[in-house]
Amino acid sequence: MWVLSVNSLSKNFGGIKAIRNINVNIEKGNIIGLIGPNGAGKTTFFNLLTGIYSPTSGEITYNLDSKIRTKDLKPHKIVHYGIARTFQNIRLFKDMTVLDNILIGFHNRFKYGIGSAFLRLPSYYKAEANAYENALELLEKFNLLDKKDELAKNLPYGDQRKLEIARALAAKPKLLLLDEPAAGMNPIETKELRELINWIREAFDLTIILIEHDMSLVMNICDEVLVFDYGNLVAQGTPEEIQNDERVIKAYLGEEVEEC
Amino acid sequence: MMNKVNKKILLGVILFAFYILVHVLINTGIIDSYYELNLVIIGINIILAVSLNLITGFTGQFSLGHAAFMSMGAYTSAILTAKFNQPFILALLLSGVVASVAGILIGIPTLRLKGDYLAIATLGFGEIVRVIAINTDYIGGAIGFNDIPRYTNWTWIFASVLVTILLIKRFLNSYHGRACIAIREDEIAAESMGVNTTYYKVLAFAIGAFFAGTAGSLYANYFYFIKPDSFGFMKSIDILVIVVFGGIGSILGSVIGAISLSIISLFLQGIPELRMVIYSVILFVIMVYRHKGILGKREFKIFKSRKKNRKKVEFNVGAISK
């Protein structure tokens, strides 16, 4: 069953064609790797998927709880549809505690109104206590429980990445978009991250799309790899197929020049 | 857990005792009308500063139009009490509502602007309100609005300050308030976590404007007389100074800022020629040595358990009620 279908998607910024005519279907439960040289359009593709940009042409369709079409994609609504993302340059709420960061992840699950907040009606206490417990549970799973009262900006880099993923998972997504989760990590941290991603896929029943430059990570955990180059989808296949694909080698290393 | 509830009761008792004490002192004449006037000004400044802090300090929207909301509240209250003889409680609430509606109307188009641009737009809004007030004869125009009945007294001021602080604190400790703080921290991330940023910015603006409107009402019904120039650009700056001085993003900071700045300018009235110089120097020194304000982001620590976690306290209370 597919969860995401992209049909002839294009995005232009003035004269720059950042994304050109992309067609792809994403199957449920897979981990999809998105690779390509810098400026290939990977993050633009994510921003299109999450409604931050609207496409110049083409159609994005999600098949989650309900069918979601391009025109319904608004950045603040995608979480509601079951899509959550992290960012290339970590975007935590730096001056809020780790716990409060997670609680923002629960935002769209709260229902009580402003009056309830002002008057502290029972619905306030019930919802807040419930979210608090869920947040602690989530933090425990990510080994961040003992740091719950620290400000997010004071966490070490690896923990900040983890917290951002935990925050995204708090929204109970079905599809998780990770933008360079291993950026800036050392090999040991990357290995931990690999285990973490595998684990959250099972534990939270997720479909994951990740942009990554670290080939050891991509080739080890992805079921399928998409290769972008100059806004085009140049190759698609299993990691083994991709590693031997001429177009991919060309995109990364350039063409072989015939000797004179 | 019990300790926490006890502390809340203790705080309530202290506040009530303070209220009674001042009330008695005013009635016996120990606090004369001059000091009472200053108490009223301090109270009004606290309401203005705390409500502006919600907009600027917590939601991160730099507004220079706060005095305009106050002026709308003041004129609404003046019209209702002086021209229509309505009860003060109704005038007070309606002042807030009118300012709040204005906040929503001005917020929807301007809150898509950021930082300096928003500041300029709100500044323009403040001037528009002032110029309209000057040119409307019904409310006295540039001469001002006279003969407003005096209803504001210590009880009204004390209750209004308390309600303002309590409601804004409660708002900030709810998911709505967390969404506002998240917008200040990172708008794009907040949006991607499902926070409707436009809605929450306008909401913070509306709530802040509401309390500014009530502050205006308290002001109008204390001083008998209001004029458009009292609510100009400089008044907005004064409020902003209190917020920055006390600490952006700290409610207790705004309270302490309002009290200390009012007291400082009270003492400096004895030396009028140097007053603004010394006032400015004090602000300068504070900003150089404590650029995050007196309290930074710290909150009501005294009344909290020694543990760092502020949420925990809230939730323990919740657990009892469950």
Handedness of CA A205, A209, A211, A216 (dihedral sign): positive
- A258 occurs within a structural domain: no
Q: Is the pLDDT at A146 greater than 60, yes or no?
A: yes
Give the closest of B193, B317, B322 to A167, CB-based. B193
Q: Is the pLDDT at A182 greater than 80, yes or no?
A: yes
Between chains, do A104 and B179 touch, taking CB under 8 Å as contact? yes
User: Both A11 and A138 in a single domain?
Assistant: no
Closest by alpha carbon to A117, among B192, B207, B45? Answer: B207
d(CA B181, CA A100) in angstroms, rounded, equals 10
Q: Is the pLDDT at B304 greater than 80, yes or no?
A: no
Report the share of chain A in percent with pLDDT over 90. Answer: 62
- A166 occurs within a structural domain: no
B8 part of contact set with chain A, CB < 8 Å: no
- Write a three-state SS string for A29-94: CCEEEEECCCCCCHHHHHHHHCCCCCCCEEEEEEECCCEECHHHCCCCCHHHHCEEECCCCCCCCC
Is the CB of residue A230 less than 8 Å from the CB of residue A21?
Answer: no
Between chains, do A129 and B315 touch, taking CB under 8 Å as contact? yes
Give the gyration radius of chain B's Cα atoms: 20
pLDDT by residue (tens digit) across B1-51?
557 788 889 999 999 999 999 999 999 988 888 889 999 999 999 999 999
Q: What is the pLDDT of residue B298?
A: 65
User: Both A37 and A75 in a single domain?
Assistant: yes
User: Both B37 and B26 in a single domain?
Assistant: no
A50 part of contact set with chain B, CB < 8 Å: yes
- A12 occurs within a structural domain: yes
| Residue A94 buriedness (CB in 10 A; 0-12 / 13-18 / 19+) | middle
User: Both A142 and A198 in a single domain?
Assistant: no
User: Both B14 and B94 in a single domain?
Assistant: no
Between chains, do B174 and A112 touch, taking CB under 8 Å as contact? yes
Between chains, do A112 and B197 touch, taking CB under 8 Å as contact? no
Residue A1's SS3 state is coil
User: Both B186 and B95 in a single domain?
Assistant: yes
What mean pLDDT is predicted for residues B304-309? 42
- B278 occurs within a structural domain: yes
- B301 occurs within a structural domain: yes
Q: Cα dist. A183→A45, A218, B176 in Å? A: 18, 12, 33
- A69 occurs within a structural domain: yes
- A91 occurs within a structural domain: no
In this structure, what token pair is assigned to residue B177? 């308030």
CATH of the domain at A177: 3.40.50.300
CA distance B131 to chain A (A): 34
Q: Is the pLDDT at A256 greater than 70, yes or no?
A: no
Q: Is the pLDDT at B299 greater than 70, yes or no?
A: no
Between chains, do A128 and B318 touch, taking CB under 8 Å as contact? yes
- B322 occurs within a structural domain: no
* Residue-range definition of the domain harbouring residue A117: 96-160
User: Both A109 and A207 in a single domain?
Assistant: no
- B262 occurs within a structural domain: yes
pLDDT interval class at B287 (50, 70, 90): confident
Q: Is the pLDDT at A136 greater than 50, yes or no?
A: yes
Q: What is the pLDDT of residue A86?
A: 94
Q: Where does a domain end: A160, A182, A211?
A: A160
Is the CB of residue B235 less than 8 Å from the CB of residue B69?
Answer: no
- B263 occurs within a structural domain: yes
Q: What is the pLDDT of residue A71?
A: 83
Closest by alpha carbon to A44, among A12, A69, A74, A82? Answer: A12
Q: Where does a domain end: A160, A190, A210?
A: A160
pLDDT interval class at A60 (50, 70, 90): very high
User: Both A7 and A78 in a single domain?
Assistant: yes
- A107 occurs within a structural domain: yes
Q: Where does a domain end: A115, A140, A160?
A: A160
* Residue-range definition of the domain harbouring residue B27: 1-31
- β-bridge mates for residue A11, sequence order: A19
Give the closest of A52, A107, A124 to B179, CB-based. A107
B315 part of contact set with chain A, CB < 8 Å: yes
User: Both B24 and B155 in a single domain?
Assistant: no
User: Both B24 and B115 in a single domain?
Assistant: no
In this structure, what token pair is assigned to residue B300? 């009501």
Which of B8, B185, B195 to mutate to probe the A interface, most A CBs <10 Å? B185
Which of A73, A90, A125 to mutate to probe the B interface, most B CBs <10 Å? A125
Which of A104, A134, A136, A177 to mutate to probe the B interface, most B CBs <10 Å? A104
User: Both A68 and A118 in a single domain?
Assistant: no
Tell me how many domains chain B contains.
Answer: 2
Between chains, do B309 and A148 touch, taking CB under 8 Å as contact? yes
Q: What is the mean pLDDT of chain B?
A: 87
User: Both B168 and B281 in a single domain?
Assistant: yes
Q: What is the pLDDT of residue B301?
A: 47
User: Both A155 and A193 in a single domain?
Assistant: no
Residue A233's SS3 state is strand
- A151 occurs within a structural domain: yes
- A44 occurs within a structural domain: yes
Q: What is the pLDDT of residue B267?
A: 85
User: Both B206 and B278 in a single domain?
Assistant: yes
Q: What is the pLDDT of residue A38?
A: 87
User: Both B24 and B105 in a single domain?
Assistant: no
d(CA A38, CA A44) in angstroms, rounded, equals 11
Residues of chain B contacting A125 with CB distance shorter than 8 Å? 317-318, 321-322
Q: What is the pLDDT of residue B29?
A: 86
Tell me how many domains chain A contains.
Answer: 2
pLDDT by residue (tens digit) across A229-252?
988 998 899 998 888 888 888 877
Q: What is the pLDDT of residue B272?
A: 79
Which positions 143-182 of A are in contact with B (Cβ < 8 Å)?
A: 148-149, 167-168, 171
User: Both A188 and A78 in a single domain?
Assistant: yes
Axis crossing angle, helix B33-52 with helix B154-172, rounded to the nearest 10: 20
Q: What is the pLDDT of residue B15?
A: 93
In this structure, what token pair is assigned to residue B140? 């006295």
User: Both B134 and B2 in a single domain?
Assistant: no
Between chains, do A125 and B191 touch, taking CB under 8 Å as contact? no
User: Both A114 and A146 in a single domain?
Assistant: yes
pLDDT by residue (tens digit) across B145-170?
988 999 999 999 999 999 999 999 99
Give the gyration radius of chain A's Cα atoms: 20
Q: Give Cα A252 to chain centroid, integer Å.
A: 24
Q: What is the pLDDT of residue B2?
A: 58
Which positions 71-100 of A are in contact with B (Cβ < 8 Å)?
A: 75-80, 84-85, 87, 91-97, 99-100
User: Both B266 and B180 in a single domain?
Assistant: yes
Is the CB of residue B42 less than 8 Å from the CB of residue B213?
Answer: no
User: Both B5 and B52 in a single domain?
Assistant: no
CA distance A73 to chain B (A): 11
Between chains, do A93 and B185 touch, taking CB under 8 Å as contact? yes
| Residue B99 buriedness (CB in 10 A; 0-12 / 13-18 / 19+) | buried
Q: Give Cα B126 to chain centroid, integer Å.
A: 16
d(CA B145, CA B126) in angstroms, rounded, equals 19
Between chains, do A128 and B315 touch, taking CB under 8 Å as contact? yes
- Write a three-state SS string for chain B: CHHHHHHHHHHHHHHHHHHHHHHHHHHCCCCCHHHHHHHHHHHHHHHHHHHHHHHHHHCCCCCCCHHHHHHHHHHHHHHHHHHCCCCHHHHHHHHHHHHHHHHHHHHHHHCCCCHHHHHHHHHHHHHHHHHHHHCCHHHCHHHCECCCCCCCCHHHHHHHHHHHHHHHHHHHCCHHHHHHHHHHHCHHHHHHCCCCHHHHHHHHHHHHHHHHHHHHHHHHHHHCCECHHHHCHHHHHHHHHHHHHHCCCCHHHHHHHHHHHHHHHHHHHHCHHHHHHHHHHHHHHHHHHCCCCCCCCCCCCCCCCCCCCHHHHHHHHHHHHC
d(CA A108, CA A80) in angstroms, rounded, equals 7
User: Both B192 and B283 in a single domain?
Assistant: yes
CB atoms within 10 A of CB B273: 6
The H-or-E segment that residue A220 falls in is helix A215-221
